[in-house]
Each structure stands twice: as C-alpha cells, then as structure tokens.
C-alpha cells in the first residue's frame, strides 16, 4: 500500500486548520486493489466458518438439552401417575367414609349386616351376635324377625365395641367383624395394594 500524502493548508488563524484530500484519494476509494479484495474474501470465509462452527455447537447443545428434557419427562410421568393413583385411592376412601357416615341407620340396614355376617357361618354352630345398644333397641322396637330367631345356638347382645350400623359375630371357630370401620379399613388396604 502506498501512503497517501495529504496537503495541509494553513488559514489565517491556526484554529481553522483543515486537511484536504489529494486528487488521487477519491479514485483509490472507488476501486479497491487486489490485496484489499483478498483480505475481504479471507475475512468473509473466516466469518462464515466461525458462524458455521457456532451453529453446529449450538445444535449439539440443543440436542443435549432436548435429550435431557425427554429423559426427565420419561422419568417424571410414571412417578406422576403413581402419585395420582395414590391420591385417587385416598380420595375414593375418604368419599366412601363420608357417604357411609352420612347414611342413617335403619332396621333394614342392621338386619342386612347381620344376615351378611351370618352367611359364612354353619347353621349348626353356636354363635353370639353383638350389636350397638341403639341398634338393638331399634330392632326390638320394630319387632324384627331377626331377633325372633333366638334359640340355643343364637344369642344377641349389646356391646359398646360395636358402632352404629355394624355387628360382631363370635363363634367357637372365630370372629366375624362386620363393623363399618372394619369394612372401610379393608377397603383402604385393598386400595393401597
């Protein structure tokens, strides 16, 4: 590159010094030489190569992030499903408890509970049926046919252990617990399994 010489012209005051381009400079600015073109092309190619490398690196980083996200989601979904199943089972049990607690105790209900408890017992065995005192009074008030079945093998008794709407049947072979809370506990165990 050839240095361009500028001419300086001094005006009456030094504060107004100006630099004037020579006549050769406008022509030089209009037509770049071969060295400048080559430098420009090298710079452009280096810039494209750097951009290409950067894009490849960003694509690789994006793929790593994508893979990590997919792996995280594949682990999170089964865990979420398991948590939802547990919450749903607990909610179902809670609803069942509230429904059962809200049902008024009727003579038909008490009789059905006793019949259900007795269906697994042999007719020849002797057994005791324990009822809540209020339920026993309700059955006596309506003169339930269930209480008329009393005999040497069948005995009805009141027990503070038995909640309303349930019964306990004891035989020489074992005990059948038909209380509401026991049934709800069994339901809870089956839902937890």
Q: For 86-98, what is each residue's pLDDT tens digit? A: 888 888 878 877 7
Give the pLDDT of residue 19: 60
Could you list the residue range(s) of the whole structural domain that residue 182 is in? Answer: 104-192
pLDDT in tens, 128-181: 889 999 999 998 898 888 877 766 677 889 999 999 888 998 887 788 888 888
Secondary structure (DSSP) of the chain: -PPPPPEEE--SSGGG-EEE--TTHHHHHHS--HHHHHHHHHHHHHHHHHHHHHHHHHHHHHHHHHHHHHHHHHHHHHHHHHHHHHHHHHHHHHHHHHHHHHSPP-HHHHHHHHHHHHTTS-TTS-EEEEE-HHHHHHHHHTT-TTGGG-BTTEEEEE-TTSPTT-EEEEETTEEEE--HHHHHHHHHHHHH-
> Is residue 131 a part of any domain in this protein?
yes
Query: For residue 50, is it within any domain?
Result: no
Q: Is residue 90 part of a domain?
A: no
Is the pTM higher than 0.75? no
Query: Does any domain span residue 7?
Result: no
What CATH number is attached to the domain comprising 141?
3.30.2320.30
Q: What percent of the chain has pLDDT over 90?
A: 13
46: in domain = no
Q: How many domains does the chain have?
A: 1
Beta partners for 129? Answer: 156, 169
Whether residue 12 is contained in a domain is answered as no
Lowest mean pLDDT among 19-28, 70-79, 139-148: 19-28
In a domain, 130, yes or no: yes
Q: Report the C-alpha gap between 134 and 132 in whole angstroms.
A: 6
Which of 20, 28, 30 has the alpha carbon at shortest distance from 3?
28
Q: Is residue 45, in this structure, part of any structural domain at all?
A: no
Which tokens sit at 60?
């690789």
Distance between CA 130 and CA 156 in Å, rounded? 6
Contact 171, 126 (CB under 8 A): yes
């Amino acid at each position: 590159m050839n240095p361009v010489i500028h001419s300086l012209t001094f005006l009456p005051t030094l504060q107004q010094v100006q630099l004037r381009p020579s006549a050769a400079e406008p022509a030089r600015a209009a037509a770049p030489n071969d060295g400048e073109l080559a430098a420009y092309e090298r710079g452009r190619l280096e810039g494209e190569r750097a951009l290409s490398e950067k894009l490849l690196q960003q694509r690789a980083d994006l793929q790593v992030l994508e893979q990590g996200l997919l792996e995280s989601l594949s682990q999170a979904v089964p865990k979420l499903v398991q948590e939802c199943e547990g919450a749903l089972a607990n909610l179902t049990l809670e609803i069942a408890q509230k429904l059962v607690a809200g049902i008024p105790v009727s003579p038909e209900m008490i009789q059905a509970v006793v019949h259900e408890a007795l269906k697994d017992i042999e007719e020849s065995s002797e057994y005791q049926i324990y009822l809540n005192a209020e339920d026993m009074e309700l059955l006596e008030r309506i003169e339930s046919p269930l209480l008329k079945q009393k005999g040497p093998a069948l005995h009805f008794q009141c027990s503070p252990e038995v909640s309303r709407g349930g019964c306990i049947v004891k035989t020489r072979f074992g005990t059948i617990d038909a209380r509401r809370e026991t049934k709800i506990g069994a339901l809870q165990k089956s839902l937890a399994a």
